Chain A
Amino acid sequence: MVFRTRRLAVASVAVAAATALVAGCATGSGGSTSGASGDTLTLWTHNAGNSAELDVVKKIIKDFNASQSKYKVELQAFPQSNYNDSVVAAASARKLPCLLDVDGPNVPNWAWGGYLSPMDVSGSEVPLSDQLPSTVGRYRDKVYAFGFTDVSLTFFARTSVLKKYGIRIPTMAKPWTKDEFDSALAELKKSGKFEYPLEMGTGSLGEWYPYAYSPQLQSFGGDLIDRDGYKSASGTLDGKDAVEWATWLRSLVTKGYLAKKSGVDPNKDFLAGKSAIHWDGSWNAAKNAAKLGDDLAIIPPVDFLHGPRIGGASWQWAMSSTCSNKAGAQAWLKFSRQTKYFVDYARATGTIPATDAAAEQVDGYQPGGEFSVFTRFAREYAVVRPVTPAYPYISTEFQKAVQDILAGADPKDALGQAAKDIDNNLKTNNHYAG
């Protein structure tokens, strides 16, 4: 009797707990819309740690709230390192905000996953067609996101140093070739002044790898995935050209041109003269120019045979698919598309304004300005990262492959394994149809 009571009680506790849990899950996924209560909309942004950029977002929201009386947008800022996790968690709980920003290469994944809704911003002050192509997030011919700025990859160097060692300063009309670049590095190494003459941020983590190194891979003739249908990486990521790129990358380490793992702050090392040539983002241009003045050389990417290449797409604004007040969200998006905000954004972040009209008002980016070359890089060299929902997976595989190659793995094996894993992922996910 006693035993039966106890067993019954234990069982009922278990059942009660399980029911509560299931009920909890059910309520979590029951609601189909979120992100707004009535005409008050929630907006999420990743730049909690970046006050200059955050202030621009705050300003747009304040102006929007003051410009009309129907909608009200409320801001919630997250630190960048937790932002994507927060969005994924919110999406699983059906608690996405109405408006959110998204890193460019993630747009296809989030669009496919049903996080984002296509938007219609026709009739806003700045038409989409005015923007740099890399600043508009498209997936399957629909617009899901747009950014106010973009960034560019570039080599920074000191003119005086290059001249001293008899190295030609390249231009967009005549960029460095692979042989020229290699012999320049050899020359710099021989001088004994630089432990590692080339700095490419090899100590960084995460998205920097595909952002910084896949353009070089593309310039060699390879790519992360066969972009025709995005059905396979084999033969592209581990093809002849790609292996050649990886072998070259590894040779930089073995010849002592490049640190296997660079220091904590590569930009500081460059400015301190520890490295001679720095493969970096345009976001450091203003800082470098302030420190080096006229001595700063902004150098286009090396042409490894298939033209100089840089990555495209930075953070962009989007609207969630579960937003309960899409009209309000669209109104905010349209309102934000004014040249003055493109200008504010570019000034605050020190990056490339997405439109020519805005560029004319940003110091250094006017036609002929010292940084206007970045706009030309973005227009002529930019390749967006593969527009496929598989991108986050491809990115992690590529990161691992590059890290392994730098550490001494066989280039063909490392790329072959990555290509095999990516193909397997594509296959098991039914090529991200659906």
Chain B
Amino acid sequence: MLLKLTGGTVYDPAHGIDGQVMDIYVRDGRIVDRPREGERIDQEYDLTGKVVMAGAIDMHTHIGGGKVNIARTLLPEDHRGDPVDHTELTRAGCGHVAPSTLTTGYRYAEMGYTAGFEPAVLPLNARQAHLEMGDTPIIDKGGYVMLGNDDLFLRMLAAQKDQNAINDYVAWIIHATQAMGIKVVNAGGISAFKFNQRMLDLDEKNAYYQVTPRQVLKTLARAVYELGVPHPLHVHGNNLGVPGNVETTLNTIAGVEGYPLHLTHIQFHSYGTEGDRKFSSGAARIAEAINRNKHVSADVGQILFGQTVTASGDNMSQFRNAGHAHPDKWICMDIECDAGCGVVPFKYKDQNFVNALQWAIGLEIFLLVEDPWRIFLTTDHPNGAPFTSYPHLIRLLMDKTFRNEIFSRIHPDAQKMSTLASIDREYSLYEIAIMTRAGAARLVGLHDRGHLGVGAAADITVYTDDPDREKMFAKPDYVFKDGELVVRNGKVVKVTWGATHAVKPEFDRGIEKEIAKYFDTYHTVKMDHVKVTEQHIAEDGRNHVIVQACKGRRERTA
């Protein structure tokens, strides 16, 4: 099967291609250089005048795992309010801020996305997270597994175990949960919450284990680096949402001593304490730190105005914010001493000073960070806004007039506290392609995605160039997933099932003895029951695991 995509204007930043008219050939789901001698072209798409990019990748979106289900359970009105009918092809679903799995997959594909990564897979919940992602059609999936608040890791850290032993444990967890990377949420803080601590700064000790977030972060960042996992440690910082947390975030960047670090939803971690209301933008300082520290990347976690729900492993900050719940209901819980979970529905309002400034801070960070390879487009779905608002967000970044028009309508005091109106930058299509495709694929470690080079998987999105970028990105003309046409004119025309990406760093299996002993002594399940295998994921006959290489494994520490 050979496809020819003729005459599109291609944006492929991984190969430095910026708006070049060229043909693309796809054979059996992969991009090829040219047809073989005498090979027949089975299907040709005339893309003259169209914009062609790789399929977009959402590198941080909560689409699977227990907390999404809790959010669904908590918000029946969200489901009742947004029913989706079944069609000949697609199944019925519902939900705006916490849509059902099927609806999630269709909606992502209909926006030109071909992969999404769940950033908060709890080790003991990994099976459920994979089952749920396995029910998310069309797009590729993957997860970052949460460590840093689990009892075993904190015990090892408190006992000052050798870094190599910790590396082995981290690698074992990645294998056992079929993950793409490691995430740490409020390092040590989720655990500290259970010992009645309500705040935990970078150098404060966990009351029980006597370890600090700084130790947790450094040890995990180093483990991920030494194991050669391509995705740097994915950090949800301490003190989320607390005015003045910009200091914590800057200290976090300094605290990992040069190991690669990805700071997620950094907008929530960029608040100062200036002004009459003791709440101000730390965006300039954060952006400057990112610009200066090449080992650091970030995704923004932009908020957009309207109803949404925040779902996070960070029970400490979710408990702190529970009073703002709208509608007034929320859940915080422990999960198997592994981590925590907090679900708090939120309504961001443009006439609320704090919300309006949060909105401006996110955009300031987008526009002040110079390197689009190290800043990523997210709303931390659904925490800042549901992912369906990405086209709107892209327009805010690409259209200064539009941005300033909305800026002029937000709370006047927030306008006074923000420099947003003075920033002239507008993102180009090339830069958007970097942050949503090439950069995201490189950051996550998807070697064959996010670009249109020879050998890449044929995940391709075709848009009609439109000065209204919101309209353009909301409704692609064509979306190809692994060479199959799945979306035409913004509607699903074929349902495929995508795959699950994972990494398999090497490690010493001897660590299993210690882990098994721990599970036997303290846990409700046996170690072997926790492991999710590739067979389990492939069991339903439609999903399978794609192992991405751990390139650049570093020598173990002596």
Q: Do A and B come from one complex?
A: no
Interface residues of A, Cβ cutoff 8 Å to B:
none
